[in-house]
Amino acid sequence: MHSEAHIVTALANYGWCVVPGFLPEAETAAIRAECMQAHAAGTFHAAGTGRGQAQVRSEVRGDHVLWLDDTNTGPALHELLDQFESLRQAVNQELFLGLFDLETHFAVYPPGAGYQRHLDRFRDDDRRSLTVILYLNEPDWREEDGGQLQFWPDPEAAPLEIQPAGGTLVTFLSDRFWHEVLPANRQRLSLTGWFRRR
């Protein structure tokens, strides 16, 4: 993977990385189509917060998600997951994180929905180690469409604003970086995953 070494180096040095154009538009569009097909079929549900019996709190997060497994993974997504597996092995080889598996879901944010500032690590479960977010939005997404990822490399400083352009990949250590999804003015799509330790 062309970006693999770059991602590993950035994670080693900073703990986070943003790669615009990680996936070409044709591949992004194929995964986007699989996401929208599943969404149209009514297989998504309102996302919850917390672990186990997650609570749906629309004032905290307003996205709808579909957890992914072997039964609902199309060919385009399967190719991406193969790339993620290669990334997992490279990260383990260089950074010794002991990443074991990957849990993923599609996330669809209706217009006006966001996700308040949070960490990706549960209080009572430290297995989530490395977050990956791949944006699946249409190529005509503009800054005024909103939906930026606010990201705090330093919790005491102003956040970065990362545009959710289709094909952009964001990776970061799950327990270190606060982040927030700002509301968008149009439907916003992503694939989010967490590499976990045993």
- The residue ranges of every structural domain in the chain are 4-47+59-173
What pLDDT score does 155 carry?
Answer: 86
Q: Would you say residue 54 has pLDDT above 80?
A: no
For the domain bounded by 4-47+59-173, which CATH number is listed? 2.60.120.620
Q: Would you say residue 139 has pLDDT above 60?
A: yes
Mean pLDDT for the stretch of residues 99-115: 95
Q: Where are the beta strands (DSSP E) in 73-187?
A: 101-109, 115-118, 128-135, 149-152, 160-162, 169-173, 178-181
Instruction: Determine if the pTM surpasses 0.95.
Output: no
Question: What's the whole-number average pLDDT of the chain?
Answer: 91
Q: Which residues pair with 66 in a beta bridge?
A: 106
Q: Would you say residue 50 has pLDDT above 70?
A: no
Tell the burial category of 155 from Cβ atoms under 10 Å away from its Cβ (0-12, 13-18, 19+).
Answer: exposed
| Res. 76 pLDDT band, cuts 50 70 90 | very high
The percentage of the chain sitting over the pLDDT mark of 70, rounded to a whole number, equals: 91
Q: Which of 11-25, 49-63, 89-103, 153-167 has the lowest average pLDDT? A: 49-63
Mean pLDDT for the stretch of residues 159-179: 95
More confident residue, 192 or 128: 192
Residues in the chain: 198
| Res. 51 pLDDT band, cuts 50 70 90 | low
Kind and range of the H or E run holding 45:
strand 45-46
What pLDDT score does 26 carry?
Answer: 97
Mean pLDDT for the stretch of residues 125-144: 92
| Res. 55 pLDDT band, cuts 50 70 90 | low
Provide the 10 A C-beta neighbour count for residue 26.
Answer: 9
Q: Would you say residue 118 has pLDDT above 60?
A: yes
Mean pLDDT for the stretch of residues 132-141: 96
